[in-house]
């Protein structure tokens, strides 16, 4: 059931558009698949390969310490759409189906009169897995698998939808970009790998790369990172086209733009290539930018926030309250000029990843939870029955476990254990993959 925000907040949001739209704002949600915060310019401006994302961050509110709820796509996007942790919405394993009972962001906006459209490029976000709930228009025709390059095509489709819209209803447009996900392809127009002369090549099999891990030199790893950043740069170019269309249509000032990633990517920080198997920052810390011109004051925020906070924020911007089961907070009260700072709040993450194959390899299996409080992160490995604590102010790479000596270790352990004990919800229904789909998952690095 939809619940309205207070009349005062809703009125303030609507009046802030001045001579523009007389109703709630449009919403553009952009999700970059597999993009770590450390690989874009809003984190490191000197990188220079994400000019459109960087400009969006300068014009909006960028959160330097934003975290996903999980280190892979299915549970993370289900959390974004529902503002619930994976253990609450139930999507914790490959091919789990987001339940019809889940109340999604798109369903809430559609019920409030929004024209809703989604364009996706990852097979783990297919309609049959429940992610189309609430979208009046859903396009998954650009899913191409691990070798496909799809950012231009999905942008073309989204732009066509925007240009062909009729009527005065506000829109909610969700655009998902898959290209930064493995396989790492070369983009000559965004060349970041010139001069490399080692054994690696674009498009190599992920499991072949993982077999070579012990032999990879620092130059080899830098080459992989270069390819990955080329993929991000190519996607950023398409992001620029998408944002440019808002200006061309004259709706930029009345459109909330939200940009996030679902999770990040590891390049041998823990001896792995890819994602799914840990809760360290390279997999959890994501770009997170919100822009609403003339309403939200551009700035950078350092308080940890969660991808759970996105749906309540977008709903509040539309004058709506989140579903009663939402676990995130709305950031809207803290975004305007003179607003109070974003309140400190605990951020949680979890992963229960196992292969859908029967012959499971140990390195494909992980059961962990994490609590982020300020600069501290506590990780609980449930399989090993161990806790690790990292002070990311003095140890941003999370290399030194201080659980045995840090004065806050015991309090954090108690808070995480209490949260684990309160986790609710049953695992979602499982849609078993076909032999073809299993092979596609193998090529993407999810199964051996």
Residue-level pLDDT at 309? 98
Q: Cβ distance 106 to 125 under 8 Å?
A: no
Q: Does residue 95 have a pLDDT over 80?
A: yes
377-403 pLDDT, tens digit per residue, is 999 999 899 999 999 999 999 999 999
Residue-level pLDDT at 362? 42
Residue-level pLDDT at 93? 87
Please give the average per-residue pLDDT across 207-226, as a whole number: 96
How large a percentage of the chain has pLDDT more than 90?
79
Q: Does residue 47 have a pLDDT over 80?
A: yes
What is the band of 1 on the pLDDT scale with cuts at 50, 70, 90? very low
Q: Cβ distance 159 to 242 under 8 Å?
A: yes
Please give the average per-residue pLDDT across 12-28, as a whole number: 62
Query: What distance lies between CA 309 and its chain's CA centroid?
Result: 12
Residue-level pLDDT at 353? 72
Q: Does residue 17 have a pLDDT over 60?
A: no
Residue-level pLDDT at 8? 39
For the chain, give every domain's residue range: 26-334, 347-421
Q: Does residue 104 have a pLDDT over 80?
A: yes
CB count in 10 Å sphere of residue 5: 20
What is the band of 426 on the pLDDT scale with cuts at 50, 70, 90? low
122-177 pLDDT, tens digit per residue, is 999 999 999 999 999 999 999 987 678 999 999 999 999 999 998 899 999 999 99
What is the band of 355 on the pLDDT scale with cuts at 50, 70, 90? low
Residue-level pLDDT at 237? 98
CA pair distance 67, 263, nearest whole angstrom: 8
Please give the average per-residue pLDDT across 209-236, as a whole number: 97
Residue keyed to tokens 């004259």:
250
Residue-level pLDDT at 45? 81
Residue-level pLDDT at 225? 97
Q: Which residues of 434-448 are buried (b: 16+ CB within 10 A; e: fewer)?
A: eeebbebbbbbbbbe
376 contacts: CB under 8 Å, gap ≥ 6: 389, 390, 391, 392, 406, 408, 412
Q: Between these two residues, 76 and 20, which has the higher pLDDT value?
A: 76
Helix 7-15 and helix 310-317: axis angle, to 10°? 70
CATH 3.40.720.10 describes domain 26-334: yes
CA pair distance 239, 216, nearest whole angstrom: 33
How many CA atoms does the CB half-sphere of 290 hold within 13 Å? Answer: 25
Residue-level pLDDT at 273? 94
What is the band of 14 on the pLDDT scale with cuts at 50, 70, 90? very low
Q: Cβ distance 369 to 71 under 8 Å?
A: no
Is pTM, for the whole model, over 0.75? yes
Q: Does residue 29 have a pLDDT over 60?
A: yes
Q: Does residue 259 have a pLDDT over 80?
A: yes
Q: Between these two residues, 428 and 267, which has the higher pLDDT value?
A: 267
CA pair distance 230, 49, nearest whole angstrom: 8
CA pair distance 101, 381, nearest whole angstrom: 30
What is the band of 448 on the pLDDT scale with cuts at 50, 70, 90? low
Residue-level pLDDT at 2? 36
339 contacts: CB under 8 Å, gap ≥ 6: 297, 333
CATH class of this structure's domain 347-421: alpha beta
Please give the average per-residue pLDDT across 350-363, as a whole number: 59
Q: Cβ distance 285 to 37 under 8 Å?
A: yes
Please give the average per-residue pLDDT across 40-67, as a whole number: 93
Q: Does residue 7 have a pLDDT over 50?
A: no
What is the band of 42 on the pLDDT scale with cuts at 50, 70, 90? confident
Residue keyed to tokens 């989140």:
322
409-418 pLDDT, tens digit per residue, is 999 999 999 9
Q: What is the mean pLDDT of the chain?
A: 90
302-349 pLDDT, tens digit per residue, is 999 999 999 999 999 999 999 999 999 999 999 999 999 999 999 999
What is the band of 365 on the pLDDT scale with cuts at 50, 70, 90? low
Q: Does residue 16 have a pLDDT over 60?
A: no
Residue-level pLDDT at 439? 72
Using alpha carbons, select from 351, 390, 94, 405 the residue that is nearest to residue 269: 390
């Amino acid at each position: 059931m939809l619940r309205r925000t207070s009349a005062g907040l809703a009125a303030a949001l609507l009046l802030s558009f001045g001579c523009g739209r007389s109703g709630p704002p449009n919403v553009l949600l952009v999700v970059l698949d597999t993009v770590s915060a450390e690989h874009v310019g809003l984190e490191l401006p000197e990188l220079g390969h994400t000019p459109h994302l960087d400009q969006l961050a300068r014009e909006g509110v960028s959160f330097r310490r934003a975290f996903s709820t999980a280190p892979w796509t299915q549970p993370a996007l289900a959390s974004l759409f529902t503002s619930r942790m994976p253990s609450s919405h139930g999507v914790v394993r490959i091919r789990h189906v987001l339940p019809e009972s889940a109340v999604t962001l798109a369903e809430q906006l559609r019920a409030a009169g929004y024209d809703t459209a989604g364009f996706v490029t990852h097979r783990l976000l297919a309609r049959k897995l429940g992610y189309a709930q609430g979208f009046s228009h859903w396009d998954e025709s650009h899913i191409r698998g691990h070798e496909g390059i799809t950012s231009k095509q999905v942008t073309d489709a989204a732009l066509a939808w925007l240009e062909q819209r009729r009527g005065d209803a506000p829109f909610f447009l969700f655009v998902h970009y898959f290209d930064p996900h493995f396989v790492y392809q070369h983009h000559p127009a965004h060349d970041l790998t010139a001069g490399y002369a080692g054994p690696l090549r674009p498009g190599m099999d992920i499991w072949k790369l993982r077999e070579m891990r012990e032999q990879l030199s620092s130059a080899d790893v830098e080459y992989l990172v270069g390819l990955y950043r080329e993929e991000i740069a190519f996607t950023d170019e398409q992001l620029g086209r998408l944002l440019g269309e808002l200006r061309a249509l004259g709706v930029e000032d009345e459109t909330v733009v939200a940009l996030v990633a679902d999770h990040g990517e590891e390049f041998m920080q823990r001896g792995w290539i890819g994602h799914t198997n840990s809760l360290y920052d390279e997999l959890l810390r994501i770009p997170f930018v919100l822009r609403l011109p003339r309403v939200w004051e551009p700035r950078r925020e350092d308080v940890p926030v969660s991808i759970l906070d996105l749906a309540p924020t977008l709903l509040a911007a539309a004058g709506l309250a989140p579903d009663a089961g939402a676990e995130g907070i709305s950031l809207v009260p803290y975004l305007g000029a003179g607003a109070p700072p974003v309140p400190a709040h605990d951020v949680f993450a979890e992963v229960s990843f196992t292969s859908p194959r029967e012959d499971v390899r140990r390195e494909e299996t992980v059961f962990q939870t994490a609590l982020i409080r300020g600069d501290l992160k506590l990780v609980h490995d449930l399989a090993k029955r161990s806790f690790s604590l990292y002070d990311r102010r003095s140890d941003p790479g999370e290399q030194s476990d201080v659980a045995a000596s840090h004065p806050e270790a015991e309090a954090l352990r108690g808070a995480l254990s209490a949260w684990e004990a309160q986790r609710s919800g049953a695992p979602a229904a499982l849609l078993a993959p076909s032999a073809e789909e299993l092979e596609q998952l193998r090529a993407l690095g999810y199964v051996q």
